[in-house]
């Protein structure tokens, strides 16, 4: 397997952000296989496509956030670093895009590249929260079936459970120009082939059990603002510049490699 140079913070720590998308810190080792990552090495081409209108202003702004040194890598091939390399391994809203029977292997790779005592931080959509919202919607309809607000809550709860598992084309693709939509579907395939569709969901128990089965310990639930990672607030990965949570409705779990 190919290996890449390791970036380190000024304090010597090596930090790994897997499937980073456009959410990253320049001093971390950022890995992604998205279109943004693959186009980052061709800024002039991207600038031209933006100028002629084939890339929207929104997408161009996202592209400019991408680390110029991002590692373009398909994580289905494993993590391209030596064992016991990193102090921190982080991934957000990625595990749910992996088939459940392959999740243990991926998390095993995270364990492998962590140093003893290193921390893994996993962020996923919170299945428990979505289910609670669904049940609350049902209870409100039991009381007032004709209430439009309750009907909308019920509808949104079902959407939260299933939409990203079943859609063929993500909603944000549909907002693109027809020609761009056509190219996306031709080049990337549908949502499942492009790796955008959800393959599984996790709650605070199922994710803890997975990590525990691999040998992680000190497994605990945290939130977007708290972490045992030193100076976590400085990296801006789970919190926006206005101090709001970047991905509301998320489950945050941290654990250590013994």
Distances (CA, A) of 147 to 68, 142, 143, 154: 51, 10, 9, 11
Q: Report the chain's mean pLDDT, rounded to a whole number.
A: 89
Considering the domain architecture, whether residues 51 and 103 belong to the same structural domain is answered as yes
Considering the domain architecture, whether residues 43 and 85 belong to the same structural domain is answered as yes
Can you tell me the distance from the alpha carbon of 183 to that of 181, in angstroms, rounded to the nearest whole number? 5
Query: Which residue did the predictor score with more confidence, 46 or 231?
Result: 231
Among 15-19, 62-66, 90-94, the minimum mean pLDDT is found in 62-66
> Total domain count for the chain?
2
Contact assessment for residue 4 and residue 86, using Cβ atoms and an 8 Å cutoff: no
Domain boundary among 109, 142, 166: 166
Considering the domain architecture, whether residues 113 and 19 belong to the same structural domain is answered as yes
| CA quadruple 176, 180, 181, 187: dihedral sign | negative
Considering the domain architecture, whether residues 181 and 235 belong to the same structural domain is answered as yes
Considering the domain architecture, whether residues 59 and 144 belong to the same structural domain is answered as no
On whether residue 71 sits in a domain, the answer given is: yes
pLDDT tens digits, residue range 42-84?
778 777 777 777 677 777 777 778 888 999 999 999 999 999 9
Considering the domain architecture, whether residues 20 and 102 belong to the same structural domain is answered as yes
- Rounded-to-10 torsion of CA 99, 105, 106, 107: 110
Q: What is the CATH number of the domain that holds 214?
A: 3.40.50
On whether residue 53 sits in a domain, the answer given is: yes
On whether residue 58 sits in a domain, the answer given is: yes
Helix pair 43-51, 57-64: axis angle to 10 deg: 160
pLDDT tens digits, residue range 150-204?
889 899 889 888 888 887 676 666 666 665 665 666 566 665 666 678 899 999 9
Considering the domain architecture, whether residues 192 and 248 belong to the same structural domain is answered as yes
On whether residue 106 sits in a domain, the answer given is: yes
Considering the domain architecture, whether residues 226 and 240 belong to the same structural domain is answered as yes
Residues 6+ apart with CB under 8 A from 153: 133, 136, 137, 140
On whether residue 210 sits in a domain, the answer given is: yes
Considering the domain architecture, whether residues 159 and 35 belong to the same structural domain is answered as no
| The predicted structure's pLDDT at residue 150 | 86
On whether residue 212 sits in a domain, the answer given is: yes
pLDDT > 70 in the chain, percent: 88
Domain boundary among 111, 144, 166: 166
On whether residue 5 sits in a domain, the answer given is: no
| The predicted structure's pLDDT at residue 67 | 87
Considering the domain architecture, whether residues 37 and 142 belong to the same structural domain is answered as no
| The predicted structure's pLDDT at residue 59 | 72
Domain boundary among 146, 166, 186: 166
On whether residue 117 sits in a domain, the answer given is: yes
pLDDT tens digits, residue range 117-128?
999 999 999 999
Considering the domain architecture, whether residues 73 and 116 belong to the same structural domain is answered as yes
Q: Which three-class secondary structure state does DSSP give residue 122?
A: strand
Question: Residue 153: which domain range?
Answer: 127-166
| The predicted structure's pLDDT at residue 28 | 98
Considering the domain architecture, whether residues 73 and 184 belong to the same structural domain is answered as yes
């Amino acid at each position: 397997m190919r290996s890449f140079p390791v970036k380190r913070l000024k304090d010597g720590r090596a930090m790994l952000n897997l499937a980073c998308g456009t959410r990253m810190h320049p001093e971390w080792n950022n890995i992604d296989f998205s279109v943004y990552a693959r186009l980052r090495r061709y800024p002039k081409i991207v600038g031209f496509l933006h100028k002629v209108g084939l890339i929207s202003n929104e997408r161009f702004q996202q592209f400019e956030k991408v680390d110029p040194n991002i590692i373009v890598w398909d994580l289905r091939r494993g993590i391209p670093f030596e064992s016991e390399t990193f102090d921190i391994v982080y991934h957000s809203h990625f595990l749910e895009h992996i088939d459940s029977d392959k999740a243990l292997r991926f998390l095993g790779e995270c364990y492998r590249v962590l140093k003893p005592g290193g921390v893994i931080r996993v962020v996923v959509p919170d299945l428990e929260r979505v289910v609670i919202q669904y049940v609350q919607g049902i209870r409100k309809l039991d009381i007032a079936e004709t209430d439009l607000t309750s009907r909308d809550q019920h509808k949104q709860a079902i959407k939260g459970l299933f939409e990203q598992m079943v859609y063929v084309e993500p909603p944000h693709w549909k907002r693109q120009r027809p020609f761009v939509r056509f190219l996306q579907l031709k080049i990337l395939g549908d949502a499942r082939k492009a790796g955008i569709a959800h393959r599984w969901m996790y709650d605070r128990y199922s994710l803890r059990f997975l990590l525990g089965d691999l040998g992680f310990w000190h497994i605990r639930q945290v939130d977007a603002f708290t972490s045992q990672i030193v100076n976590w607030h400085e990296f801006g990965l789970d919190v926006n510049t206005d101090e709001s949570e970047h991905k509301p409705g998320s489950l945050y779990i941290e654990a250590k490699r013994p």
